[in-house]
Every structure is written in structure tokens, then in C-alpha cells.
Structure 1
């Protein structure tokens, strides 16, 4: 069961000069059960605030917090005393064990939504580059999508919601993906380096040759792919190749050797060993499990989820 901590409406505080500053705060906090902790990522709290909010810290937490500033501005002070200006839209990462100190401009305030979360999956998200402990202030291109996810968590926090822990945990996963996509400098249509690698993934090229085709050194390509996809160029290329191999195995009658050649492997035995090691089942066995042969192959066109095709039944 969850426990609401507090819900505060309009609040005021006194400044040193004796004037009153008004701000609005709404917060809820939860205590997921040990069973829910096994989901790998749990939501511990959510809040929506705006106005000239009080300064936070200096303090240190034992869990992660994503603070999304959608309007206004303020400041963030690092443990070594350096002060960084925060201008909306922006994200503040509060990391476990790392002291933090921040607040909105007292003259203008800011609008923020925050989500507290924890779990072993945070380590993987950090390794993939979705969480950035060394970058506490992250400019965003748009805070809207992240605020929409936070609003859904807030709605899920209604009293008596039997799906609270699972619903909010799923939303935290979505929030991390949304924030990763919303970083300033990111493109909505995808990363051009990854698009180019995916397009040429099945060609017999080494990582160094891929880098040269894009006018980059191997180290530069490695950094770009790690930043965009959270993995090495070799692993990214392999994931694309294996994904294509699965499609060919499931959707065509091509022999395994022909599938291997289509995805860039001249040695079918090596391809089978690699496929088995990474997928967990042999290519032949995968085909038996997933067979959906379609004359001419599957469509490459991504379906429109908002306007799906319909099956018309009845007499003509």
C-alpha cells in the first residue's frame, strides 16, 4: 500500500525584508512493497510546484530525483561550490549520495515537476547514458512531454488506486526515455550517425571503415554512438544485423546460410554460433517458434497506431 506524505495548497513564507512570497506545492510519496521493488524501478514520490519556492538543501538523498523545470529560472550549486544558472526548460538530476543545493530565482520563481525513484535498474540506465550523475543540470529542448508523464504519475497517485505501484513504475521508465529524447541538441527523428550505421549495418565493413565513411575517427564514432545509443558501435551494428536476421528467419523461407549472407556474414556457422549466443536460441529453432511466412516479405512501412487498418467482415 502507498502512504501519502502531504498535500499542500497555496503557501507563503516571509522574506528577510518582511514581505510575503506565495508559491503552490502539491506532493505525494509512496512506499512500494518488497515485491514491487523486484520490478527493478519504483516510483517513490511525485510533486508539482510553482512560484518562488524555498531553496532546497544543501542536502543529500539516498535515491534519484528528476526535477523538470518547465518555466522560469534559478540556480544550482555543485558540491564544490560552483553555481550554475538554470533556465527553463531544464532538468535537474539529483543523484544518491551526492550533495545538492538549488532554488528558483526569488523574484520570478519557476514551475517544476519532480519524480523520486529508485531500484537496481537505475544502474543500467546510468550505464546507457539515460541518467547522468556527472551532469546535474541538463538543458531540454522541450519540457512538455516530460511534464505530461509526470502529470500521469500524479493522476495515478489518487487514493485507493490498486495499480499505483506498477503504473507509476512503468511511468518512470517512460519518463527516463522521454527525458533522454528531450535533451537540447537531440533530434526528434533520430540520430543521424545511428541512422547511417543502421542503413549500412549489413555491409561487410569494419567499425573503422564505418567511421571513415562519416569523416570520423574510430574514437569519435565510439563516443557518438555511446552518447546516442548507450553502447559501442560494434554492439549497435550487431543489434541491427540480428534484428534483420530475425525478420528474415520469421518472414521468409531463405536458408540460414542465405540469411547469414543477407546480414553481412559469409560464414553461416559463425553466424549461427553468434545468433545462438546473443539470442539464446539457434536460428533454426527461432524460425520454428516465430514463423510467419508472408509472400514477398514483411512490409517496411511503420503502421499508424492512431489510424490502424481495419478488417472488414460480412458479405460483399
Structure 2
């Protein structure tokens, strides 16, 4: 399968810097994150250090991690509303918990669940039901994290994560200061978040829409109408449009044509087929109409696209 590339605008969060001189010989959590408690406003967990240069260039910094951290019995009830200046994910590995996130409400937590909190989001979580909250957790920041958040891959809330302690390898990797280990940790975290996103999609997705997408891919020449797609999913056209957009982020007809044009781009660089035949294989009866639609999609004509991205082993 070809990879789907999306152009996303990145919003960089300006990090607060400490006004005091940092102790250069210590890198403990107390020198990285500070807790700002005030009875008249939410507690703020502040990020004191600027992003190290290597991580700034990469765009992601795993600030620190804790393993088997233990909060007090029934600690949720003593936890005040708070905000973080960084992203935080916490995997409940033992005990029992309760979580409240602004805009998402309050819920019980059980071992195997994970809570994710973005910068600036009011939250409370901790032990409950006479038990402590025992967690593996990671805190991170940077434009890559912002991209994952704004594209919906990473979102606030509680989700199923399983009992395997998947954050441990990342916690171990960040103890090694070498660039290779830090890159490995970043990639492992990104893969974990993406896998979690798709697992959420599978567990809460709409099976008829998934089946429809497979049908669309299996018939690249066919032009699907909204009515035909709605009937396939056994939904009214209006219900179908809402469900389809929620599932894919696109309108149905836009998805169908963009799929065709992406297939065309692959055929142009991987085969020597004439442009007219590429158009015909994807249901375009008029090659000139196809060329116009392709240029609207890619910014250049099919002929130029082929020249710009030559494939030296292009079979017919």
C-alpha cells in the first residue's frame, strides 16, 4: 500500500523558562518540572528547562518518565484541579483510580487503562476505592507532539491500553543520553501513540464504513454516488455523510476522487502507461478532464509529474 502524506501546519508551543540559574550538575525531575500551587487558581505543573538543541531540531522531547510511581490511597479526592505545560500519558498498572478531565467528565479507572492530558487542560486523577494509583508515565513536548494532537492522533481522555507495560522501553531508552537512543525513544513513543490511535478507531469505528472503503479500493474504476455508498452502509444519505466524515475526515465524493488521483500518481511513476490509459483505468473517460483534475490535486500536470518523479524500472 502507498503511504498517505498529509500537509499539516505545526503550532509550536512556547515553553516557559526558569528565571533562576539551573544547576548544571543535576538533571532530576525537580530541576525540570516545578509545581505551582495556589489556592485561588488551578495548580500549574511548569516546565522549567528549554528544549535541548538536539530535541528542538527533531521536534520532540521526552522530558522524563516514571515507572511504578505510587500515589496515595484515595489520592484523587485530595487532588486539586491542575494544568500541565507539557503532554502527559499515565498508564495505570496497579491499584484503582478515578480521573476527571475538563470537558470530558469524570470516570473510574482500572489497571490497563491510560489517561492522556495535553498542555493547558484542567485535570485530576489519582487513587480511588481505598487503593493507590500505581502508574508508568511519560511527559513530553514539542512540535511533533503538537502535530499529533492537532491531527487527532493524540487526544485528552482515558482509553484502554492493556496490561503490558509498554512505556517501560521508552523510560529505559531516555536514560541513555546518546543521540541514537534518544531518536529510538522518540520513534517508539510516536509509534505507540499512532498504534493507540488506530486501536481506538477499530474499537469505536463504524464497520460499514470500513467495509465501504475496502470496496472503493477494490473497484478503482467505479464512480460511487453518495446514494450508492449510503445504501451499501444501510444508512440514509444524510446519516451516511455524517458518519463518513466522522470516520475519514472527508466528504464521500472528495474521498473517492482523491483516492483515484493518488492511484493515478502511483501509476504515473511506477509504470510507463500512457496518460490516457492511466485515466481510463481509474474511470476518467476524458483524458483532458483527468489532466485538469490531476493538476488541481497535485499542482502539476500528469506529464510533468512523471518527469519530476521518474522510475527507472517502469513496466507497462
Q: Given the two structures, how large is their TM-score scaled by the length of structure 2?
A: 0.68
Unaligned stretches of 5+ residues in structure 1: 8-28, 298-316
Equivalent position of 1:18 in the other structure = none
Change (3 A) 1:46 1:196: farther
For residues 8-52 of structure 1, the C-alpha deviation after alignment (integer angstroms, 9 at most, x for no partner) is xxxxxxxxxxxxxxxxxxxxx985335633544433332322555
Equivalent position of 2:310 in the other structure = 290
Q: Quote the Cα distance in structure 2 between the aligned partners of 1:47 and 1:245.
A: 48
SS of the aligned residue for 1:131 comes to coil
Equivalent position of 2:265 in the other structure = 246
Q: Quote the Cα distance in structure 2 between the aligned partners of 1:221 and 1:210.
A: 8
Partner residue of 2:159 out of 138, 163, 173:
138
Q: Quote the Cα distance in structure 1 between the aligned partners of 2:288 and 2:103.
A: 56
SS of the aligned residue for 2:84 comes to coil
Question: Does the 8 A contact of 1:127 with 1:230 survive in 2?
Answer: no
Counting matched residue pairs gives: 268
Is residue 97 of structure 1 aligned with residue 120 of structure 2?
yes
Question: Does the 8 A contact of 1:69 with 1:112 survive in 2?
Answer: yes
Q: Given the two structures, how large is their TM-score scaled by the length of structure 1?
A: 0.68
Question: Does the 8 A contact of 1:75 with 1:103 survive in 2?
Answer: yes
Q: Quote the Cα distance in structure 1 between the aligned partners of 2:68 and 2:236.
A: 46
Following superposition, the deviation at residue 71 of structure 1 comes to: 4.8
Equivalent position of 1:265 in the other structure = 284
Question: Does the 8 A contact of 1:30 with 1:45 survive in 2?
Answer: no
Equivalent position of 2:55 in the other structure = 36
Following superposition, the deviation at residue 60 of structure 1 comes to: 0.7
Following superposition, the deviation at residue 153 of structure 1 comes to: 1.9
For residues 251-281 of structure 1, the C-alpha deviation after alignment (integer angstroms, 9 at most, x for no partner) is 3332112212212323323332333343344
SS of the aligned residue for 1:290 comes to coil
Equivalent position of 1:194 in the other structure = 213
Q: Quote the Cα distance in structure 1 between the aligned partners of 2:49 and 2:168.
A: 16
Following superposition, the deviation at residue 101 of structure 1 comes to: 0.7
Unaligned stretches of 5+ residues in structure 2: 1-23, 31-47
For residues 199-250 of structure 1, the C-alpha deviation after alignment (integer angstroms, 9 at most, x for no partner) is 3454112344322322223444444444444444345434432332133223
For residues 75-132 of structure 1, the C-alpha deviation after alignment (integer angstroms, 9 at most, x for no partner) is 1124489531112432212122221111133644455332223334445434433233
Equivalent position of 2:12 in the other structure = none
Partner residue of 1:185 out of 187, 200, 203:
203
Bigger shift: residues 210-219 or 57-66: 210-219
Question: Does the 8 A contact of 1:74 with 1:105 survive in 2?
Answer: yes
Partner residue of 1:233 out of 252, 260, 268:
252
The structure that is helix-richer by fraction is 2
